[in-house]
């Protein structure tokens, strides 16, 4: 099965691309596509319709202190870690608190590449909200980068998803 995102030739029947992690399950599952089409419009809306944040980026060689300052100054809960122009990982406050923070730690002596969560799950602008909810729930995370052509275009948070869903659930 050829991945529509990165064009990697995967083994037939896999749920996600072995190269980029893109969801492949719904591509060969007609029942899944029918459920999405028949579902409530608000849950099958495209992620591009959400007011997502522009991605804040650092490089793998940048100090963690820079990522923390960017999160504070940008009022965001995550920073995308890039290796050149490619997404390498993501840093959230959880990563900082559990991997590096302490009374004697120098946040400028540790690189973002050492602290990041590598190879984060990502989606595309044209994926639907139901896919994002599923990925966040199964993966236990609160942020998903959106990529187009391998470049991060936005970050969708669980807060963005809840703001979209809440009026429809009342």
If DSSP codes are grouped into helix, strand and coil, which group holds residue 70?
A: helix
Q: Inform me whether the pLDDT recorded for 28 exceeds 80.
A: no
What is the count of structural domains for the chain?
2
Over residues 94-101, mean pLDDT: 90
Confirm whether 43 is domain-assigned: no
DSSP per-residue letters across 34-53 = HHHHHS-TTTSSBGGGS-PB
Confirm whether 44 is domain-assigned: no
Task: Summarize pLDDT for 124-137 with one digit per residue, the tens.
Answer: 988 988 899 989 99
Scanning the structure block, which residue is given the tokens 């659930």? 169
Outline where DSSP puts E strands in the chain: 57-59, 79-83, 86-91, 117-118, 143-148, 151-157
For residues 70 and 20, membership in a common domain is answered with no
For residues 33 and 90, membership in a common domain is answered with no
Residue 62: predicted pLDDT: 98
For residues 66 and 150, membership in a common domain is answered with yes
Confirm whether 34 is domain-assigned: yes
Q: What CATH number has the domain bearing residue 161? A: 3.10.580.10
| Between 19 and 96, the higher pLDDT residue | 96
For residues 142 and 66, membership in a common domain is answered with yes
If DSSP codes are grouped into helix, strand and coil, which group holds residue 67?
A: helix
pTM given for the model: 0.73
Residue 40: predicted pLDDT: 64
| Between 63 and 33, the higher pLDDT residue | 63
């Amino acid at each position: 099965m050829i991945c529509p995102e990165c064009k990697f030739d995967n083994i037939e029947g896999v749920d996600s691309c072995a190269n980029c992690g893109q969801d492949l399950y719904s591509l060969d599952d007609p029942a899944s596509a029918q459920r999405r089409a028949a579902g409530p419009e608000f849950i099958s809306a495209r992620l591009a319709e959400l007011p997502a944040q522009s991605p804040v980026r650092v490089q793998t060689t940048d100090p963690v202190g820079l990522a923390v300052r960017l999160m504070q100054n940008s009022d965001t809960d995550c920073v995308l870690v890039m290796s050149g122009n490619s997404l390498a990982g993501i840093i959230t406050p959880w990563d900082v608190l559990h991997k590096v923070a302490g009374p004697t730690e120098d946040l400028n002596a540790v690189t973002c590449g050492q602290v990041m969560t590598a190879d984060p799950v990502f989606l595309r602008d044209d994926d639907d909200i139901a896919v994002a909810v599923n990925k966040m729930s199964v993966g236990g995370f609160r942020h998903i980068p959106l990529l187009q052509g391998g470049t991060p275009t936005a970050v969708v948070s669980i807060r963005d998803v809840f703001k979209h869903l809440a009026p429809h659930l009342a």
